[in-house]
Amino acid sequence: MEGISEGGRQFTLLLEATGSFSTSNATVLIIVVLILLLMTAVIAGAETAFFSLSAKDIFFLKTKEKGSARQATQLLEQPKLLLATLLVSNNFINIAIVITTNMLIKSMIPPTVGVVMAFIIQVVGVTFLLVLFGEVLPKVYATQNNLRMALFSSPYIRVLTEVFRPVSSILVHSTKFIESKISSKSANNISNEDFEHAIELTVGHSATKEEVNIFKGILKFGNITATQIMRTRLDVTAIDCEMTFAEVQAHCLEAGYSRLPVYKETLDKVVGIIHTKDFLPHLDDVNFDWHPLVRPAYYVHEGKLIEDLLKEFQLKRIHFAMVVDEFGGTSGIITLEDIMEEIIGDIKDEFDEDDLNYKKIDNNTYTFEGKTLLNDMCRVIGLPSDTFDGVRGESDSLAGLILEILGKFAIVNDTVKYLNFEFTVLALDKMRIQKVKLTIHQPPEKDQK
């Protein structure tokens, strides 16, 4: 009996020692699990946030100079590397959570519980933690606050990108290799030119040329940005805040537009938009203060897709927007009419001049104004809008294209060539190209074998 009592005391002492050891161990493990759950929540939320940002959100990030916004922009410049980093780091942390929780639950489950029951408790507990706190909650939050979550997580994700770069790079290169093998065998890649050809084959025999052009305009509509169709700042007619009411009336009458931007000092400081119809009740009052009639201006980034801009125009019931660059400077203006013309062609009203910005000399020779947009020039001569993408750089006008190819300021009679196109500068206004002659040479015939 004494031996049994002594053995019982020793077992009790062992349990007490084990219990104290398990308690301290469990506290550390719980802290580790909470930290890992927080990390996986940030990663899961960042994945949803970054890849749900709209074009508007991305352009907003590009205009900011704060560290987190700049880091977010840099991460988005390499989306495949970003996704690989998020997936790799999330899997590493999930594995760490599984191992840590397994140790924690084992230290907390009494020895009397069966192996099967312990396994079920571990699986249910770990699954609940990972799904609720590592997936559902952070992704729901990130869906509703994607921009805020992207800004918050970008410094953390930036560090993870550097830590897991070797593994992520291997995954990205492997993915590119697989994509190249799949894409080379895929027969589903159809270019815009193929679509246009299909449109001509299917509806060309029963539709007019204008209707076929509308179909083509709809096809290209989703890829056109505001800067491609806007009126550049050099061609914008605006009103100075310092003008008197009489001067404003005369200026509006001469311009012939229903809406004009109002600026202070320079066109980069637009204070609003004036509607000429608002002048009608005050035409007889020479000393009328017209400044209260100025309405707030609507601003869009020059990279804004006109498909999205059209929806915003419809939602806000506006017809006019100021186009700004990444530094907030005024690039030009864009109107609802400009957007609609990309689908249905030129819209002529009683204020439009009859003479166009180009003249067709013969089937292979044209003269254009330097400010003519490349999209418009391609439409006139019947070419795809991406014909000059290889050399246009950031330019959107014919004058800009010539400067990109020439690499210097042009002088009269300067000639540049690209493929079978030859551009000759005919007239300059100071440093601005005013008129250009385009000559289309027939491509050389290939030798018959």
Residues 59 and 174 in one domain: yes
For the record, the structure tokens of 63 come out as 């205009």
Provide φ and ψ at 16, rounded to 5°: -65, -45
What pLDDT is attached to residue 192?
57
- Please state the domain count of the chain: 4
In a domain, 349, yes or no: no
Residues 22 and 107 in one domain: yes
What pLDDT is attached to residue 330?
87
74-106: pLDDT as tens digits? 888 888 888 888 888 888 888 888 888 878 777
How do strand 320-324 and strand 299-301 relate by DSSP bridges? parallel
Residues 82 and 16 in one domain: yes
Among the three residues 200, 221, 242, which one is the final residue of a domain in this structure?
221
Residues 168 and 25 in one domain: yes
In a domain, 307, yes or no: yes
Q: Please, which pLDDT band fits residue 345 given cuts at 50, 70 and 90?
A: low
Residue from 86, 100, 180 nearest 135 by CA = 86
Among the three residues 152, 181, 210, which one is the final residue of a domain in this structure?
181
Residues 61 and 162 in one domain: yes
In a domain, 369, yes or no: yes
In a domain, 131, yes or no: yes
Residues 204 and 167 in one domain: no
Residues 142 and 123 in one domain: yes
Q: Which domain holds residue 316?
A: 225-344
State the alpha helices, DSSP H only, in 51-191: 55-63, 67-76, 79-108, 115-131, 137-144, 146-163, 165-185
In this predicted structure, the answer to whether residue 251 has a pLDDT above a threshold of 80 is yes
23-72: pLDDT as tens digits? 677 788 788 888 888 888 888 888 888 888 877 777 777 777 667 888 88
The answer to whether the beta carbons of residues 378 and 385 sit under 8 Å apart is yes
In a domain, 353, yes or no: no
Please report, for the domain that includes residue 286, its CATH number.
3.10.580.10
Residues 159 and 12 in one domain: yes
Residues 304 and 394 in one domain: no
Residues 231 and 308 in one domain: yes
Residues 176 and 44 in one domain: yes
